[in-house]
Chain A
Amino acid sequence: MRITLRDIRKQYGKVIANDGIDLEITEGSIHGILGENGAGKSTLMKILAGYTTKTSGTILLNGRPVEYDHPSQATRLGIGMLYQDPLDFPPLTVLENFLMGLDHGLVSRVEVYRRRLREMADHFGFHLDPETTVQRLTVGERQQLELVRLLALGVEVLILDEPTTGISSLQKQALFTALRKLAGEGKTSFLVSHKLEDVEALCDRITVLRRGKVEGEMGLPFESRKLLGWMFGSELPPPPCFERRAKEGVSALAMEGVSASGGRAGLGPCHVAVSQGEVVGLAGLEGSGQGLFLRLAAGLERPETGKIRVAEEDMTGKDHHAYRARRVTFLPAGRLEEGLMPGLSITEHFALHQKRGMMIQWPEAQERAEQGIERFRIRGSSFSAAESLSGGNQQRLLLALLPANPSLLLLEHPTRGLDADSVQWVWEKLMAYAAEGTSIVFSSAELDEIFQMAGRVLVFFNGIVVKDVRTCDTTMEELAKAIAGKG
């Protein structure tokens, strides 16, 4: 099936996720969509899959324009998507998951579909036991099941969103073989990924998106350098290596052989040492292990192996409040989901941070709230409820609530959603902390930010720290390569 996307636009309020994207795909091909975090590739694919509606633009299948606004409609037209978070039914069996949506009528034609499942699985070399429950399957196996199910529904176009995160290399090979076979049978696949190596290995053509637009398109043979340039934009010169404010030898945080499971990729054994006063940036695609790293360092997750030390003290296995007692503070990315309490005003948030004492000193809390509002330029009054603040202002509130002298600040996407001015001003504040000796470890989707603000950068890829280097000793290009898996 031939697919044409013409001038696809998607706007979320003021944010433009897709800004006039044109794409032409021939049938029987595997097309790669590359791009950084926030480039717009997920949004585009969700529009194609019917999961989101486009703001404007046209989709043509075999030259005919089509309209749909629900994934099941897209499936009926022959388009199916493998989501990053599987939309399946964990307590039900593999066979039941396969049947659901496929089988209709009065009685389940179990045997018919059981055979179909086995044939299709064998065709691709997958091993799926129809009677196990899906919650016992690995991520890769769940993917295989979904693939087979979509094909059974008659899907001609497959969209795979970051499929190789969290699966074994054997499963990756099986997946790639399956996709090549499908291409040979005339089916089209979209591979959305940030992993250059995978995309280069599998695809016939690659489109690179950046900031909502098509930055470039390339056929075989691929030039990695050019692709990286399209993905990450122009080169920034490395910052001058500012004199080490960090007190060498005084350890703030040490991870020794720490590994854990969680998220899609988990975290492989890592050895990281952060000194007092250091500013360390965590780079890599969302879900590559940075979030897990930060949570382990905060005591919110327990490691499966290894030891975690905060200021030389062994904190492995202790809960978050013990870390807090040692002035380790964690700022989550989900501001309203995890960081703030809806229904409570700004003043009430500050009041919760008051020291001991049975009574709340409301005048004092109000004063601190007003100070915080002023210093962090929060658009809201001390009576505003947390959920009424805009995303950016919620972030400011979280920063305003940070304690006075933290020893270790762990920040998940600290400047997400803030405009350029605010970003700069937030970093001024954070640098002031660093100057006082606070160690800062933060994750960010913006490579520029890490490059400019951090003294050191750790690149995460598929759950492993693949690069650990001072920013002044590396280039943006090298970092980009590492993020894409070719470091």
Chain B
Amino acid sequence: MTDLDLTVLLASIVAGAAPIVLAVLGETISEKGGVINLSLDGSILLSAMVAFAIAFQSDNLFLGFAGGALVGAMMAALVGFFSVFLGQSQVAVGFVLTLTARDLAYFLGNPYARLYGPQAGVNPIPWLQDVPVLGPIFLHQSVPAYLSLLLIPFAWWYLYKTPMGLRLRAIGEHPEAAYARGTNTRAIQFWYTVVGGLLVGLAGATFSLCTKTGWGRPQGAEGTGWIALAIVIFGGWHPVKAALGAYLFAFLQIMGIHFQGWWPSVPAQVFQVAPFPLMIFTLIVMYLAQKGSTRTSSRGSPWLRGAVRILSGSAPAGLGRSFKPE
């Protein structure tokens, strides 16, 4: 391994994590309102394909991104429609959609495989890009990466500092109570699911137009959706923590590639599948933290207490349930 340039490493983490951050933020929004969008993985692939196809045909990157976003929104709308309005199980619909969307992506994307298309390059911010340290890392990125960076504080602000975000969180926690206070629970759940899907679509577009450009079978973004689901849980359904989780994952991925030589005994696959044991671990810690007995036993171990505090959070109480107004 050649000598490591820290800024290059950090910059590549920010760039590589951009689509994951977008997907994670989108799914967090959806789940905060109580709707879990299991079609994430397929959605990303389908929107990646559509984005590339449109960009290729029209030679217009913006249209490509817009197309991808639209596809993501439509997939989420399907999940929302089936679950919120038809009362079907969110898990069932999301799961079927994730498989079907992937197949659609491969099928319709066939003609576009291994073609060279437009790519979103780096757009450094003038003047500021020369700021030491921060400049090369954060200000020498592509537009989607900037978007992902900006969305993190925006999502946090929206969810925790605005009345609309409060309403969404209230619906996710106790839809019946929100309904009693006059909110149009179902419509709001549906729309936020769609918004979440829009971000997921953008994530897919970012893959095929920016991070892992082009289309193929496989594209390279396979599995990202499932990873995003895991990271949302690991982040305790909090946008900032979840985004940090995304960066951590990107970090681990890069470590897996670069540091093979340093730790030869650790197989590369460990880094690739790392989010999932972490997700399981988080869920267990959250569960044990809720059970009173652990509160007393964790007094003894500072490590466990720290873990409980960092990983604290709980799923929105209404997650996965379909709410029927009386």
Contacts and interface: CB of A to CB of B under 8 A. Distances in A.
Q: Do chains A and B touch in the complex (CB under 8 A)?
A: yes
B305 interface: no
B291 interface: no
A214 B166 CA distance: 43
B182 A70 contact: yes
B9 interface: no
Contacts of A89: 169-170, 173-174, 177-178
A87 B173 contact: no
Q: Label chain A's interface by main secondary structure.
A: loop
B164 to A, nearest CB: 8
A108 interface: yes
A70 B162 CA distance: 25
B182 A72 contact: yes
B314 A91 contact: yes
Nearest to B313: A91
A92 B169 contact: yes
A107 B161 contact: yes
Interface in B161-197: 161-163, 166-167, 169-170, 173-174, 176-178, 180-183
Interface in A37-94: 51, 70-73, 75, 87-92
Contacts of B161: 107-108, 110
Contacts of A448: none
Contacts of B178: 89, 100
Interface residues of A, number: 23
A486 B268 CA distance: 74
A108 B163 CA distance: 5
A101 B314 CA distance: 23
Q: A73, A91, A92, A96: which has the most chain B beta carbons within 10 Å?
A: A91
A325 interface: no
B166 A103 contact: yes
A101 B161 CA distance: 14
A106 interface: yes
A90 B169 CA distance: 11
B317 interface: yes
A104 interface: yes
A106 B163 CA distance: 7
A333 to B, nearest CB: 21
Contacts of B167: 100
A88 to B, nearest CB: 6
A96 B163 CA distance: 9
Interface string B313-326: 01001000000000
Given A96-B166, A99-B163, A90 B174 contact: yes
Contacts of A106: 162-163
Contact of A87 (B163, B176, B317): B176
A100 B162 contact: no
Contacts of A91: 173, 314, 317
Nearest to A109: B163
A478 B314 CA distance: 49
Contacts of A108: 161-163, 166
Contact of B180 (A87, A96, A105): A87
Q: A90, A92, A101, A110: which has the most chain B beta carbons within 10 Å?
A: A101
Contact of A92 (B163, B170, B176, B183): B170
Nearest to A96: B166
A107 B162 contact: yes
B233 to A, nearest CB: 16
Contacts of B181: 71-72, 87, 100-101
Contact of A90 (B163, B166, B173, B180): B173
A99 B161 CA distance: 11
A96 B160 CA distance: 9
Contacts of B180: 51, 71-72, 87
Interface string B214-246: 000000000000000000000000000000000
A87 B175 CA distance: 10
Contacts of B170: 89, 92, 96, 100
Interface in A370-395: none
Contacts of B317: 90-91
B162 A75 contact: no
Contacts of B163: 99, 103-108
Contacts of B177: 87-89
B166 A88 contact: no
B176 A101 contact: no
Contacts of A107: 161-163
A110 B161 CA distance: 8
Nearest to B315: A91
Q: A70, A100, A110: which has the most chain B beta carbons within 10 Å?
A: A100
B173 A92 contact: yes
Contacts of B174: 87-90
A135 to B, nearest CB: 10
A87 B170 CA distance: 11
Interface in B289-326: 314, 317
A92 B165 CA distance: 12
B95 to A, nearest CB: 22
A48 to B, nearest CB: 15
B273 to A, nearest CB: 31
A32 to B, nearest CB: 25
B6 to A, nearest CB: 38
Interface of A: 51, 70-73, 75, 87-92, 96, 99-101, 103-108, 110
The 5 closest A-B pairs by CB, nearest first: A72-B182, A87-B177, A101-B181, A103-B163, A89-B173
23 contacts: A71-B180, A71-B181, A72-B182, A75-B182, A87-B174, A87-B176, A88-B174, A88-B177, A89-B170, A89-B177, A90-B173, A90-B317, A91-B317, A92-B169, A96-B166, A99-B166, A100-B166, A101-B182, A104-B163, A105-B163, A107-B161, A107-B162, A110-B161
Given A75-B182, A99-B166, A106-B162, 8 more contacts: A51-B180, A87-B176, A89-B174, A91-B314, A96-B170, A100-B170, A101-B183, A108-B166
